[in-house]
Amino acid sequence: MTFTFESSMQHWNAIQRIHGRYSKEVNDVLKPKGLSKSQFDLLMTLYHQESATQKSLERTLELSSGAISQTVKKLLAEHLVIRKRINREKRILLTEDGTALVQKSAPEIEEIDDRYFRAFSTKDHETFDQLLHKMQSDHF
């Protein structure tokens, strides 16, 4: 089956609307904590990895070196992360305050995520993952 331009536009518009709603809900949770979504994503990455280089954060978060640098600079100023040399590598780590903020914020974000995916069966999740992977690998 071939999709028409019109059906493709309908898909993209639906994705855009869902993303817009999701982003607003997440930002409404993070803004009072002084965080943006990209800052939270970086903090969560460090929470799961314990430490990272700036280069690895660029790859993981798919952000430019400038965006990562700016985000890290803001988080350093807020004392949520530190830079530390480990085995000749400059690494970025969470501070105790950063860890506490992630632990406090993550359940609220997880609840939002859950609302968006709660209606999916296990098979739906697998299919969704396969479709996303196919879209990304075919074009990026």
What pLDDT digit, counting tens, does each position of 68-98 carry? 999 999 999 999 999 999 989 999 999 999 9
- Between the CA atoms of 73, 110, 118 and 134, what dihedral angle is there, to the nearest 10 degrees? 30
- Rounded to whole angstroms, how far apart are CA atoms 120 and 114? 10
In the structure encoding, which two tokens stand for residue 124, read together? 């739906």
Tens of pLDDT, residues 11-54: 999 999 999 999 999 999 999 999 999 999 999 999 999 899 99
CA-based nearest residue to 27, from 39, 42, 45 = 39
Q: Show the domains of the chain with their CATH numbers.
A: 5-110 (1.10.10.10)
In the structure encoding, which two tokens stand for residue 22, read together? 């999701």
Give the CA radius of gyration of the chain. Answer: 18
